[in-house]
Chains A and B, each alone.
Chain A
Amino acid sequence: AQSVTQLDSQVPVFEEAPVELRCNYSSSVSVYLFWYVQYPNQGLQLLLKYLSGSTLVKGINGFEAEFNKSQTSFHLRKPSVHISDTAEYFCAVTAPSGGYQKVTFGTGTKLQVIP
């Protein structure tokens, strides 16, 4: 079984300041990791993903995340946030096995960018 923990339910940050959204996962096997963003009343949009290879992953809108296997973490970062980054962010994990897989999501972190 796999699980995801997002430690912060809400993160307020001033515009142009850096931000880190934390994500820890649990799985007994190798995993794929994702970050999704959800704007109000919309579906989820993929920000970035880690499948294998380089542990530093760059995504859209200036976001990046680092996979740390020893700490089972996949924290999301942005060096300078904009008002438009205000949204809810979900970390997700999947552990492909048997050719089929389900994706497990965290409970989400609401990022509030303050002007």
Chain B
Amino acid sequence: DAGVTQSPTHLIKTRGQQVTLRCSPKSGHDTVSWYQQALGQGPQFIFQYYEEEERQRGNFPDRFSGHQFPNYSSELNVNALLLGDSALYLCASSIGAVNTEAFFGQGTRLTVV
């Protein structure tokens, strides 16, 4: 079982650019949630996808968008990157929309310069 896989592991982008991060959930999981973890902080919930629709959203601007595919994998898109978007982006997968146990990937470290 490969667990939750995220790509790429590291990424450097320039302010104003756009970025796409990818996540493959653990086998058998159908729900994907995305989190932003700034340096020295706890993860902050961005949004959750279930049945290819955004079900819950945290306090993030519309520059943050996502998608879930029929195979349950997911993408996180961030437009018009700001320096403050530099963080570790974590993907978590679970079974069903009620998270009784979420499995996390290793994360994508995004640096905006």
Chain A residues within CB distance 8 Å of chain B: 4, 32, 36, 41-46, 49, 51, 90, 94, 96, 99-108
Contact = CB atoms under 8 A, between A and B. Distances in A.
B27 to A, nearest CB: 17
B70 interface: no
A101 B99 contact: yes
Interface residues of B, number: 26
Interface string B62-91: 000000000000000000000000000010
Interface of B: 4, 33, 35, 41-45, 48, 50, 55-56, 58, 90, 92, 97-107
B42 A46 contact: no
A99 B98 contact: yes
A43 B105 contact: yes
Given A42-B106, A45-B104, A100 B4 contact: no
B8 to A, nearest CB: 14
